[in-house]
Amino acid sequence: MLRDLKTRLAGAAAVTVVTGAGISADSGIPTFRGNDGLWNKYRPEELASPEAFARDPRLVWTWYNWRRELIAAKQPNPAHHALVELERRVNTFRIITQNVDGFHSLAGSQSVSEIHGNIWKVRCTQCGRVAANRDVPIAVPPCCAVCRGLLRPHIVWFGESLDPGELRQSHDALRDCEVLLIIGTSGVVYPAASFGAVAKARGAFVAELNRDPTPQSDLVDAAIHGAAKDLVPELLD
């Protein structure tokens, strides 16, 4: 199965890649809630939603500062770097990521759609300005440098819609690709969980690379199980 995928990649002029938490887990990024118990008493919806931010922005920012500190201590892994090399080899290439850690760009990938946002960007709730911010720790809560309005993480929260521009670019990449790689995703979070079916309907060869089977595994052309940091570099051999 891996050999067939490598052959198809070698002959493809257009490749799209969808990545999820599994690729960043290989860099040591902890799960959404973390493992130390500090935030286990909160449900994700209590921290990553507009309602939570309106109710207690300091609490939400304290949680995001904790996550930023964890991510800042980690680095992209061999899977991220292998995708940079794959991009160099393919005429048309795009990464669509559900991750907010910014590791694809940090590794050197050029064509990245961050459909869930980026933890290293902030957005003013008053003037709407989006800016990069890599302060670790960040002031809690932070204020806009232009209008002094309250900043929020530039993240798509529960109950919010994806950015139309990012979504449009993603669908264009799914429509036009010859090979779609789905790496480290659970296959249950929409709309990303539907991306394989979209590309397959347009004639693409769809391969899933994940540690464990997902609800989408039986629907793709190839399901290969293992760690992203091991499997993705193998595609370049």
Longest Cα separation, the chain: 55
Catalytic residue of the set 80, 116, 154, 171: 116
Q: Which among 69, 94, 81, 78 has a CA at the least distance from the CA of 172? A: 94
How does DSSP classify residue 219? G
Classify 143 as helix, strand or coil.
strand
How many C-alpha atoms does 130 have within 13 Å on its Cβ side? 8
Q: Is 80 a catalytic residue?
A: no
**What DSSP string describes 30-41?**
PPSS-SSSTTTT
Tell me how far apart the alpha carbons of residues 153 and 116 are, in angstroms, rounded to a whole number. Answer: 11
How long a stretch of residues is the chain? 237
Tell me how far apart the alpha carbons of residues 179 and 160 are, in angstroms, rounded to a whole number. Answer: 30
Under 8 Å between Cβ of 152 and 55 = no
Which pair of structure tokens corresponds to residue 130?
A: 């989006």
Which amino acid makes up residue 22? Answer: G
Cα dihedral 101→103→105→107 (10° resolution)? 170
How does DSSP classify residue 36? S
Q: Which among 11, 99, 115, 14 has a CA at the least distance from the CA of 107? A: 99
Residues with catalytic function: 116
